[in-house]
Amino acid sequence: MAREHNIVGKVREELTVVGKDSSRVDGILKATGKAEFAGDMTLPGMLVGKVLRSPFPHAKILNVDISKAEKLTGVKAIVTGKDHPGNGFGPIAYGIRDNQIIQQEKVRYIGDAVAAVAAIDEDIAMEALSLIKEDYEVLPAVFDEEEAYRPEAPRIHDHAERNVCFRVFLNYGDVEKGFKESDTIVELKVETGKKNHAQLEPYATLASYDPYSQKVTVWTTTQAAYKFRKYFALS
pLDDT 10s digits, 71-80: 999 999 999 9
> Distance from first CA to last CA of the chain, Å, rounded?
58
Provide the pLDDT for residue 192: 85
Per-position DSSP letters for 120-173, written without gaps between them: SSHHHHHHHHHH-EEEEEE------HHHHTSTTSPPSSTT-GGG---------S
Bridge partners, residue 107, by sequence: 59
Average pLDDT over residues 36-45: 91
Output the pLDDT for position 91.
46
The answer to whether 107 touches 59, Cβ cutoff 8 Å, is: yes
90-128 pLDDT tens trace: 444 455 666 788 999 999 999 999 999 999 999 999 999
How do residues 220-231 score in pLDDT, each as one tens digit?
Answer: 888 888 888 887
> b/e map of 62-99 (b: 16 or more CB within 10 Å)?
eebebeebeebeebeebbbbeebeeeebbeeeeebebb
Maximum separation of any 2 CA atoms in the chain, in Å: 80
Please give the mean pLDDT across all residues of the chain.
Answer: 86
Say what the pLDDT of residue 19 is: 80
Instruction: Give pLDDT, residue 95.
Output: 54
Does 38-167+190-201 carry CATH code 3.90.1170.50?
Answer: yes
The answer, yes or no, to whether residue 207 has pLDDT greater than 50, is yes
pLDDT top residue among 131 and 193 = 131
CB 96 within 8 A of CB 157: yes
| DSSP state, residue 6 | H
Is the pLDDT higher at 204 or at 12?
204
Give the pLDDT confidence of 158-183 residue by residue, as tens digits. Answer: 888 999 988 888 888 998 999 999 99
In what side-by-side order are the strands of the sheet with 113-119? 48-53, 113-119, 75-80
Which amino acid, 215?
K
pLDDT of amino acid 171: 84
Residue 229 confidence (pLDDT): 86
**In terms of residues, how long is the chain?**
235
Strand pairing of 133-138 and 106-107? Answer: unpaired
Q: For residue 139, what are the CA distances in angstroms to 108, 148, 157, 233?
A: 10, 14, 12, 33
Within 10 Å of residue 127's Cβ, how many Cβ atoms?
A: 16
d(CA 29, CA 235): 34
CB-CB contact of 124 with 63 (8 Å): no
Gyration radius of the chain's alpha carbons: 25
Q: What are phi and psi of 82, to 5 degrees?
A: -65, -25
